[in-house]
Amino acid sequence: MIGVGRNGGAVPARCLLLAWVSAWVLFGPAARSAPVVPPVMQLAILLKILEYEKSVAQSGGPIRIGFVAAESHAESLRFQAEMLQSLKSLGAPRVQGREVSGMGLTAGNYAQTGGLKVLYLGPGLEGHLKGIKAFSRAGKILTVTGVESYMPQSISLGILPKKTDKPQIVINAVEFQAEGASLDGRLLRLAVLLNN
């Protein structure tokens, strides 16, 4: 037995091993790209942000959100399913008077899908960010993610964890403008701006 318990007693080695394995699973390499803000909260924040996004008001038709996952990445597919289920649970949400709908896409088929206003990127897409960036810029499609490591590279809007309990909105100003987006000043005051 190794270690010391709360009452001065020894902590069994198997308990320490279990704690180490748990920490590795939660915070190890496989978890680093995982979105930390719960999917339902990310979706609620996104819908609020879209209320302030000026290009939405100028475009017609429904707001279609494509939730992009990596085909062979279990965590990515699970996140996508949770986002779609969260959207479905809201019934028929509307933003700026327009119906909001969502669809599951993969890294292999997002570019064949028309009418998208938003691409929401889950974990596991690190190798696809360059292509997604080119596609979103050409189509003036807003890119959003909860994966912090994507932000400096090519994604315009992040809904990320911070040290307090509340999530943080992060805007990559260069990408945001390149995708044709424009936010109301009231929301900009609440966001953190990256000027890459």
Summarised one tens digit per residue, pLDDT across range 117-132 is 999 999 999 999 999 9
* Cα 39-45-51 angle, rounded to 5 deg: 140
42's CB contacts (< 8 A; 6+ apart) are 35, 83, 146, 159, 167
pLDDT in tens, 160-190: 988 767 899 999 988 888 998 887 787 778 8
Count the domains in the chain: 2
Based on the domain organization, do 48 and 138 belong to the same domain? yes
**Residue 110 confidence (pLDDT) above 80:** yes
- The model's pLDDT over 63-87, given as tens digits with 9 standing for 90+, comes to 999 999 999 899 999 999 999 999 9
The residues near 81 (Cβ < 8 Å, ≥ 6 apart) are 104
In whole angstroms, how far apart are CA 164 and each of 17, 23, 129?
30, 21, 29
Quote the distance between the C-alpha of residue 128 and its chain's center: 15
Residues 14, 109 share a domain = no
Can you give the residue range of the structural domain that contains 18? 1-31
